[in-house]
A and B are shown apart, each in its own frame.
Chain A
């Protein structure tokens, strides 16, 4: 049988899925143990117990100085920034994506402009944002929006343009005005794509969030990582990185479930 035709069974599939993760953990355990055997004071790859202690300290014991549970207060601060920025980007992308996709005049006016803006490296703008908007939340949220929104606008506009011409014509022969067609034909069909688009932008959004927090902040996951970096506290950095990854994975999964629950038809097409 050809390789392209051999498929794993359900059990093998799960085993295969878990294998790389287990391998990573084992590799970490072995390397960490080897380094610690050489030098018990090694900070680079702390033992599992050290990591657990750190998690316990950060998540379940109040910080002696502020009395806060640092992991949770950091997570809260970061997620507020992340989700408000993603919310703003989504609204901007939905509006501009639809008008650019639907109206030739707006497309002529804005499509090249948005394409250019999306090429500006957002991190290069960060100093300007900090100078103009101050060091508070506004500049961080703005950074994420600038980094994420143009790509989403372009993606949505493309999606609108991809709708079969026949559909729009059919809607016109049913007597639909531009507004009615936007509301009943185009909008419902781009919303699932908007959610997918949002999922794809989660990575960049986290990148800009951590970058902004690393440079100027007094709370947040990125802030904490870059703070304890000075003391080589790998026992805190590793769990934080894992936690961020976990949050991103959960958001990604939840958004996809949301799409299928709200727009059941969007999953029928794929089959």
Chain B
């Protein structure tokens, strides 16, 4: 379980009020897409969930426990850029989380432990479609592959929450569509609550279970400093998408495959034949 509750959260930088009185409950395993114009505090909001910034007022809890004011392994993150380490290979990047967990002093793994970690990392690398590129460095990968790598790297920690800061914003439309399919699959298959900041409305409505918009109700130049953005729209996607379940209305190819049993036309009948 991983329910995030924000209670009357304000964020100010000096005199500048960025966010005003954000109260929000993000259900476990939701996929929240956060939209809004530039500079309305979407990224600030994400930084607070990440623990990089603390709210000026109000509190954030994850499963009822107040968030510690420091990024930690329970919250994974993928940024638009610089999410992977340029000095490590694909395998090294994915392994790093495991290495940090198991080897506090040497920060390296050896022998059987290393082999086990490599096996796990390889599975994940194959999952995101990067098999064959294990020994490449990020600079040798395309932008889309780098973001796939960043996802694999974050997911090896099995985080409760995955935070995405315009992760696919720099990718061209074809690659973006491919990675959307991957993202949907990962969300269905992993125990994850996802919060994604995006500029792309289409992306928000394609992926999300819930779309949230931030907006400044007062945006005249003289008001801009003293009034922050508020939560202006909160839309639950209909028909509802539920993690790990087929949509009842229009099952699409991104939904998880649920075996329907054998049909009359299927070859090699074994067991009961459905009408």
Residues of A within 8 A of B (CB): 164, 166-167, 169-177, 179-180, 183-185, 188-189, 263-266, 268-269, 271
Bound-state Cα–Cα, A170 to B50, Å: 10
Which chain B residue lies CB-closest to A271? B139
Contacts A173-B77, A175-B101, A189-B86; A184 near B159 (Cβ below 8 A): no
Cβ of B96 < 8 Å from any Cβ of A?
Answer: yes
For chain B, what secondary structure do more than half of its interface residues adopt (helix, strand, loop), or is it mixed? loop
Which chain A residue lies CB-closest to B101? A175
State which of B66-74, B124-132, B169-177, B257-265 sits at the interface with chain A. B66-74
Chain A contacts for B52, CB-based, 8 A: 169
**Can you show 19 pairs from A to B with CB atoms below 8 A apart?**
A166-B79, A167-B83, A167-B85, A170-B77, A170-B150, A170-B153, A172-B72, A173-B50, A173-B71, A175-B157, A177-B104, A184-B96, A184-B100, A185-B85, A263-B87, A264-B137, A265-B87, A266-B87, A268-B86
Cβ of B110 < 8 Å from any Cβ of A?
Answer: no
Chain A contacts for B137, CB-based, 8 A: 264-265, 268
Contact B107 A174 (CB under 8 A): no
Cβ of B75 < 8 Å from any Cβ of A?
Answer: yes
Contact A269 B100 (CB under 8 A): no
Contact A173 B87 (CB under 8 A): no
Bound-state Cα–Cα, A264 to B70, Å: 33
Contact B50 A183 (CB under 8 A): no
Contact among B73, B83, B84, B105 with A175 in the assembled complex (CB-CB below 8 Å): B73
Chain B contacts for A173, CB-based, 8 A: 50, 71-73, 75-77, 154, 157, 159
Chain B contacts for A268, CB-based, 8 A: 86, 137, 139-140
Contact A175 B87 (CB under 8 A): no
Which chain B residue lies CB-closest to A192? B87
Residue among A170, A179, A265 having the largest count of chain B Cβ atoms under 10 Å: A170
Chain B contacts for A166, CB-based, 8 A: 79, 81-83
Residues of B within 8 A of A (CB): 50, 52, 70-73, 75-77, 79, 81-88, 96-97, 99-101, 104-105, 107, 137, 139-140, 150, 153-154, 157, 159
Contact B139 A269 (CB under 8 A): yes
Contact B97 A174 (CB under 8 A): yes
Chain B contacts for A271, CB-based, 8 A: 139
Contact among B79, B86, B87, B153 with A174 in the assembled complex (CB-CB below 8 Å): B153
Contact A169 B139 (CB under 8 A): no
Chain A contacts for B157, CB-based, 8 A: 173-175
Chain A contacts for B83, CB-based, 8 A: 166-167, 170
Bound-state Cα–Cα, A169 to B49, Å: 13
Which chain B residue lies CB-closest to A185? B85
Chain A contacts for B70, CB-based, 8 A: 172
Q: A170-B84, A180-B104 are in contact. List 6 more A-B contacts (CB 8 A).
A: A166-B82, A172-B72, A173-B157, A174-B157, A189-B86, A268-B140
Chain A contacts for B72, CB-based, 8 A: 172-173, 175
Bound-state Cα–Cα, A7 to B97, Å: 47
